[in-house]
Structure 1
């Protein structure tokens, strides 16, 4: 099919059923993050690896706010940054650098979320980062890493360092920058971000009070991995994500377009 004809064909007719289902979930994730007030105008990004297509992933169109993202508007890219399907939209360069790095290094990272929430950025500016001062923080601390700030993420040579710093963690604090989570599904990455963001919110509020904080003992922190597995299982999002999808349907189902 000629490129001009491709451009005029509805996206749903050009992709597999599995990709379309993923597009719907990813668009819903954008909308929920906007609903929660975690977006940053047209900046920050969420990506997802296309099922059955090595090296292809979906990213938000640069210029749309998260509340405007739909299943059809998501841009399909290869790992080099080339558009796989025609799109009138471009993607934010820093978003491509960060997300392509994670997808390339982590086969299990099917979805990657990067945000600049005020609380997340505040904790990212703090020496010592996230503190074990709440139960929510313990869930985050069970699988977290840090990446030093190197300026706006535009240079490809930052990718190996970002990949090395992420390692096998599910969550990362980008120092002086923001938060990043990854997961085996959109729901997994969303639940990880909800947990990390809520931990940052609680810490910022607790520290703002000025009183000395009670840190959870090291022995409990060391055993949190087993407790996370016991309470959430292999995929705690199996209960959370369907509820998020139902909420988005009630709020505005236009993300499915």
Structure 2
């Protein structure tokens, strides 16, 4: 059996690297995105970048643990601030999809305007075929970020797929690791 402490350290390092990759692509410069990953031991908890840490500066020590009720603590157990929108959107997904370790969402130059077209990706390029019959369209209403209600509706729309287009908002992908979720996101963009 793997060492849970070492496994968590690897996961947090991967999560921090994912944020820095988004920054290198110039995504999330306005704090308009989030990447989460499920804790290795407490599967109802997720890790998230501490509030107001720029993506390009993300380190594993900047990740905070978010409980099912939305409360967050740093790695020393002290209360921490988070981007509540990330909790409201990602927690319901992690809650209903035990197979999902990580979820990623950020506003991008192409994905956000494409989402405003309120349509699915057509399998017309090599990259787009990866999402053939493996993505959904959330066209419910504007993404509600003040509670988990919108996140629950997004989770229903996502279903068993690896990605969902959030109408007028952007893209969201999930995966078995931060690298997996980020890889799908980059390909979808």
Fold shared, TM-score > 0.5 on shorter chain: yes
Structure holding more strand per residue:
2
1:32 corresponds to which of 8, 17, 21:
21
The answer for unaligned runs of 5 or more in structure 2 is none
User: Would you say the 8 A contact 2:64–2:80 is kept in 1?
Assistant: yes
1:120-199 paired onto structure 2 within 5 Å: 120-148=111-139, 149-197=141-189
Contact persistence 2:73–2:80 (CA under 8 A): no
Do the aligned partners of 2:142 and 2:168 also contact (CA within 8 Å) in 1? no
Preserved contact between residue 123 and residue 130 of structure 1 (Cα < 8 Å):
no
Q: How many residues get paired?
A: 183
Taking structure 2 as the reference length, what is the TM-score of the superposition? 0.89
**Superposed displacement of residue 43, structure 1:** 2.4
Q: What residue number does 2:35 align with?
A: 46
Report the Cα distance in structure 2 between the residues aligned to 1:88 and 1:104, rounded to whole angstroms.
22
Alpha-carbon shift at residue 47 of structure 1 (Å): 0.4
Q: CA deviation at 1:84?
A: 4.2
The alignment yields a C-alpha RMSD, in angstroms, of: 1.7
More helix by share: 1
1:248 alignment counterpart = none
- Name stretches of at least 5 consecutive residues in structure 1 with no aligned partner: 1-14, 198-257
